[in-house]
Amino acid sequence: MKDQGQRCRPAVEALEERLLLTTTRLIIDFTPDTTVRNKYVGFHRRNFADAFRGHTVADAPFLDFDGNGVIDTRRDPAIAAALITGRVMFYFARFLPLGVSVRGVDVLRQTQRGAAELRNGLHSPRLQVFVMYVGGFINDPSTVGESFQAAVGFNNEDYARVYADAIVLFFQQHLGPGMRPIDFANFVASTVAHEFGHMLGLGHPIPDFHDHTNVMDSSGDGQNDSFPDRFYPADLVQGNVAGTSPGVQNPTQELFLSFLGQPNENDITSDLISHGKTASAAATRAARARDELFAAWERMEWDAAGANPLV
Ligand SMILES: [Zn+2]
């Protein structure tokens, strides 16, 4: 009995130590920062609140969050941001005991908070920060979110974007008049969770556009989706190779490993900038090639896929 206890103890301590090693912050910044270098082609920077501007209950009833018959750019987006943040927390609920927190910041104000958080994360080996800027659009109006997908076994401590203006347009053009504010908030939250998933190493399932209940499937719409806890074929970045290739992934398992502190593939570039360390030229080239290739993760390809989740 005594021996057993002694054998168990180091294992418990090792686990506790590991869990305490890494803290992860998932930051949702509702006022995209001006102090970060934009990495998304054709991006038009607008605030989340700007997605509400100029709309009426006649053309966008799903934006009337306080139900007062008027769509304004303060109360309605503030309520929406709170609902979105709560819903994103729901997607990551089972990981919160691993030191994961979800925070909505810079609602209706600009303090460059996301950039500051990300800088802290990149400079700390114990703190991982992933930032989602919610607002604006890119030249392709059918793209509702973009991110750089981390390689399997790695995290991409970085920022990504969710295009609120494009989601408003998508609701108006494709989802009909029955959409409620909660449907809009849930769709934005699903897109946020999906793009965080890419930065944490998750790929699209193979085949894609086939499972609305999988938040990593491009047809996930926030109605009833989650991160699955099962293995299935997925498009993954594997090794130091540009491009995705078919692999097998269990999203829940990959997320657990991500939050326990998988290595950050930005270490190469962030070290070069902040600490002057050298990286192998080949590794830097490969990382750059991968980033360029994955600059355009399109969440929605409705026309190509002929799919519409809510109709
Ligand atoms: Zn995607």
Q: What is the pLDDT of residues 34-72, one digit of tens each?
A: 999 888 889 999 999 999 999 999 999 999 999 999 999
pLDDT beneath 50: ranges in the chain:
1-13, 15-19, 267-311
215 CA from centroid of ligand 1 (Å): 9
Distance from residue 263's CA to the centre of ligand 1 (Å):
21
Q: In angstroms, what is the span from residue 10 Cα to ligand 1's centroid?
A: 40
Q: How far is the C-alpha of 270 from the C-alpha of 122, rounded, in Å?
A: 7
Q: How far is the CA of 255 from the centre of ligand 1 (A)?
A: 16
Task: Say how far apart CA 151 and CA 283 lie, in whole Å.
Answer: 13
CA of 9 to the centre of ligand 1 (A): 42
Give the pLDDT confidence score for residue 19 in this predicted structure.
45
Domain ranges of the chain: 23-305
CA of 244 to the centre of ligand 1 (A): 12
Q: Alpha-carbon distance 166 to 146, whole Å? A: 12
- Spacing, Cα 293 to ligand 1 middle (Å): 13
User: Among candidates 185, 216, 214, 186, which has minimal Cα distance to 198?
Assistant: 216
Residue type, 30: F
> What's the gap in Å between 277 CA and the centre of ligand 1?
32
At residue 152, the pLDDT reads 87
CB 128 within 8 A of CB 31: no
Q: Output the pLDDT for position 298.
A: 32
User: In the prediction, which pLDDT does 194 show?
Assistant: 94
Note if the pTM is more than 0.85: no
Distance 105 CA to ligand 1 centre (A): 23
Q: How many CB atoms lie within 10 A of CB 308?
A: 13
Please tell me the predicted confidence (pLDDT) of residue 62: 97
Report how many helices (DSSP H) and strands (DSSP E) the chain contains, helices first.
9, 7
Compute the distance from residue 159 Cα to the ligand 1 centre, in Å: 14
As a residue count, the chain comes to 311
Nearest to 29 by CA among 144, 226, 192: 192
| CA 94–ligand 1 middle distance (angstroms) | 22
